[in-house]
Amino acid sequence: MTDAPRAERLGEFIRRQRELSELSMRQFADLAGISNPYLSQIERGLREPSERVLDAIATALHVSADTIYEQAGIEVHEEPESSAVEDAIRADPRLTGRQRQALLEIYGAFVAQARPASRPRRRGE
């Protein structure tokens, strides 16, 4: 469940930045690699984006995800991990927003699969 005031502040900030960039909702959603209806829900504070989606939105706005949280008045407790591979995907101008998002999701899935294998086993496992 989302924290409604937090989601509203975040959505309002994203909407204002999109409008300042003079991008339509459709154009911005394409840049961020998300659907137009999902962006609409985020901007209206109905949904809070995942870290991955927030990173894509931040990239489309040319700011960091921490900056978005900070400007929306949301305290950041920890810095998200970003690898050189993810940074390279986000920075490649030859990729569309959707291609970036797909590659980041695939990379994230591979990395997530690798993590449990390296985790030390506890007794009884």
pLDDT computed for residue 76 by the predictor = 63
**Among the four given CATH numbers 1.10.260.40, 1.20.1440.230, 3.40.50.300, 2.30.110.10, the one describing domain 4-118:** 1.10.260.40
pLDDT computed for residue 55 by the predictor = 87
8-state DSSP, 80:
P
Calculate the CA dihedral of residues 23, 90, 79, 62 and round it to 10 degrees: -30
Structure tokens at 88: 């390279």
Sketch the domain layout of the chain as residue ranges.
4-118
Mean pLDDT of 93-117: 79
8-state DSSP, 81:
P
Whole-model pTM: value is: 0.57
pLDDT computed for residue 9 by the predictor = 87
pLDDT at 43 over 50: yes
Q: What is the pLDDT of residues 11-39, one digit of tens each?
A: 998 999 999 989 999 999 999 999 999 99
Mean pLDDT over the full length of the chain: 81
